[in-house]
Amino acid sequence: MKKIFSLILLVLSLSLQAQTDTFTVYKKTSVMIPMRDGVKLYTVILAPNNHTVSLPFLIQRTPYGANIPVQDGATINLTKTSLEKIGKGGYIFILQDIRGKYKSEGTMQIHQPIIHLQEKKAVDESTDTYDTVDWLIKNINNNNNKAGIFGVSYPGWLALVGAIDPHPALKASSEQACMGDLFLGDDFHHNGAFRLSYGMEYSYEVEHDKTTDSDFPFPQYDLFDWYLKLGSLKNVNDVYFKKTIPTWNNFTKHPDYDTFWQKNSPLNYVRGAEIPQLHVGGYFDQEDMNGPQLMYQFMEKNDTAHKNFIVLGPWNHGQWSRAKADSLGKISFESNTAEWFQNLQKQWFDYWLKGIGDGNFKEANCFQTGSNKWKTYETWPPKNASITKLYVQANNKASFTKPNTDKGSVSYVSDPAKPVPYRTQPIEATYGQGSRWYSWHVEDQRFVTSRPDVISFTTDSLTEELTVTGKITAHVFASTTGTDADFVVKLIDVYPAFDKKSLAMSGYELPLAMEVFRARFRKSFEKPEPFVPNKPEEIVIDLHQINHTFLKGHHLMIQIQSTWFPIIDRNPQKFIPNIFEAKESDFIKATHTIYCNKNLATYIELPVVK
């Protein structure tokens, strides 16, 4: 959700008035555009200098600051920015502060639902987009009466909701790394488990001061111990926020998937693809992995007009918008995947806004890791995948053969006082100096494999390639001596002990799919239930979509643990109706048991493509 957008503006501000190419040099103008309720939104207009042909608008709306630090009337060179490729073709770029942030009037709270369709006089981000397009069409010279909207992260969600009940001139949208359901699988919760460090730091950043982004004043660099000493979540308001952060207050009031979260979800207010929509997401997105996948699938159900498309790549959050994306962390993709995407993005808007090209876009373009190739699909996920079950075994092996013993299990002790770190220390502030937040989804998992509270199940080395394409689902049969528990499940590609391709990658444990589930929600996200101690139950976990080829000689690993700190808050392991009100005495050790026998067989569903 973080400010990919602001990085674009920073680069723009550094390259002033250098060339005479009409569609390379752009002129800045700023205006305050009135909305239907009288609130005015600060808007930057970047138009090709001295252009005389009619051009379409391309809009980005943001909570992170739309202003470019040059005076109105100054010219800006788009060379070596993320807008260079599309800008050379000629667009009128619109950058706008949403209401209540930076230079715009009004009030703002994170990710509010779209309500104007039910409340006719209401305003929301959809109506603000409509009013912006309407004003631009009527007041900016040399436009062709067409507009598109796009954005990454929060601006991606704004592109999604801006395409609801759209202005007739809004012809295409591309939501990229869009926020989806904030309780089920993006940003602040994953399957009901609260994302502590991100939720605390981001809500403070956006809502502490409307005129800027705010960094929480941590007293130290490595925050693992700081978050541990924070104790119960109720201490955030009691000691630090003092109930001044609206989104944090909502966290504390709504610990379950109640009507607040349901109404807040795009699943509640998005009707379908009303204009052509290009969803863009990354397999390794550390913030909004689920949103593009979730919204594409939801909108695809009623896409009879063929307006709904998806691109999935080997990216972290917004990596496709940068100049280069040939690797992430230590993982090479063997080509500049950002350049590939930016070419597609230009073709997308050129067709819908200018009529250039044949409009023959593939339903799904999905990069395949492992083989490092772009693949196209007529349906996503592809229908020709065969569901294959990978089972865990009591001897810490994983196999495609179901266990045949009557009894079989593996147990471990989970201690909230000694949680498993979600990445290697130091745990820097999420957006702090030197933060490794951006690549932790591909971090070598050997740093936790030897812990007694992390259990791993590994296959023999593969004798041939294995391609897995589509949604990964875990079925965990587990019990606990407590009355609540979290379960983190990972699907990992284990490189050979001697990797001939890259010796430095030998033995690397690459996580391809990782997810947490707060097991109190195993039967219902609306009505949590405690465990009966020592009673086995099934927990079904959506590990999201991948497209990966496990190479010959590699191993598959399933890894399970119950703490993932501080990205996920510590489950007390004693059932508390509202975890945000837990006392220190509520946090207890518990023994968790994972079952692997013919009656209770824990496994992961893999959609295998021959």
In a shared domain, residues 165 and 252:
no
Cα–Cα distances in angstroms (integers) from residue 86 to residues 9, 320, 341, 346, in the given order: 16, 14, 12, 5
Residues 249 and 275 reside in one and the same domain: no
- Give residue-wise pLDDT tens across range 73-115: 999 988 877 788 899 899 999 999 999 999 999 999 888 999 9
pLDDT of 550? 98
Give the DSSP letter of residue 584: G
Same domain as 190, residue 163: no
pLDDT at 601: 98
| Closest alpha carbon to 470 in 367, 545, 388, 540 | 545
pLDDT at 1: 57
Residue 481 DSSP SS3: coil
Alpha helices in 17-124 (DSSP H): 84-88
CB-CB neighbours of 476 under 10 Å? 23
Q: Which residues of 146-182 are buried (b: 16+ CB within 10 A; e: fewer)?
A: bbbbbbbbbbbbbbbbbbbbbbebbbbbbbbbbbbbb
Same domain assignment for residues 87 and 139: yes
Q: In CATH, what number is assigned to the domain containing residue 69?
A: 3.40.50.1820
Q: Are residues 222 and 329 in the same domain?
A: no
pLDDT given for residue 13 in this prediction:
40
What the block records as the tokens of 22 is 């009409």
Domain's final residue, options 241, 262, 283: 262
| Distances from the Cα of 437 to the Cα of 298, 316, 546, angstroms | 29, 10, 21
CATH of the domain at 250: 1.10.3020.10
Enumerate residue ranges in the chain where pLDDT < 50. Answer: 5-21
The string of DSSP letters for 341-385 reads: HHHHHHHHHHHHHH--S-----SEEEEEBTTTEEEEESSSS-TT-
| Angle, helix 154-162 to helix 125-139, in steps of 10 degrees | 70
CB 303 within 8 A of CB 296: no
Q: Of 234, 262, 290, which marks where a domain is finished?
A: 262
Give the number of residues written for the chain. 610
- Strands 364-368 and 308-313, by their bridges, are parallel
Residue 582 identity (one-letter amino acid): A
Query: What are the structure tokens assigned to 493, written together?
Result: 């590609």
Instruction: Report residue 300 as tokens.
Output: 């695809």
Picking from 85, 68, 87, the residue whose alpha carbon sits closest to that of residue 14 is 68
Asked if 478 and 588 sit in the same domain, the reply is yes
Q: Where are the alpha helices (DSSP H) in 374-464?
A: 446-449
313 shares a domain with 168: yes
Q: What are residue 190's DSSP bridge partners?
A: 185, 193
Last residue of a domain, one of 377, 394, 426: 377
DSSP state at residue 214: -
The SS3 call for residue 234 is: helix
Name residues whose C-beta falls within 8 Å of residue 148's C-beta, 6 or more positions apart in sequence: 56, 57, 58, 59, 170, 171, 172, 173, 174, 349, 352, 353
pLDDT for 52: 85
Please check whether residues 315 and 417 belong to one and the same domain.
no
Cα–Cα nearest to 190, from 531, 571, 604, 594: 571
Q: Which of 355, 306, 503, 420 is nearest to 55 (CA)?
A: 355
Query: Are both 144 and 286 inside the same structural domain?
Result: yes
Q: Residue 125: name the closest of 111, 137, 139 by CA.
A: 111
Q: Are 314 and 373 in contact (CB under 8 A)?
A: no
Residue 552, domain extent: 386-609
Statement to judge: residues 121 and 200 lie in one domain: no
Query: Up-side HSE of residue 2: CA atoms within 13 Å toward CB?
Result: 21
Residue 214 amino acid letter:
S
Are 347 and 452 contained in the same domain? no
User: Could you give the 3-state DSSP secondary structure of residue 98?
Assistant: coil
**Dihedral (CA of 211, 217, 221, 227) sign:** negative
d(CA 150, CA 163): 10
In the block, tokens 């609540």 appear at 484
Distance CA 29, CA 77 (A): 15
Instruction: Identify the CATH number of the domain in which residue 455 sits.
Output: 2.60.120.260
Give the separation between CA 243 and CA 208, rounded to whole angstroms: 11
What pLDDT is attached to residue 22?
A: 58
Q: How many domains is the chain partitioned into structurally?
A: 3
Q: Residue 471 has what pLDDT?
A: 98
272 and 258 part of one domain:
no
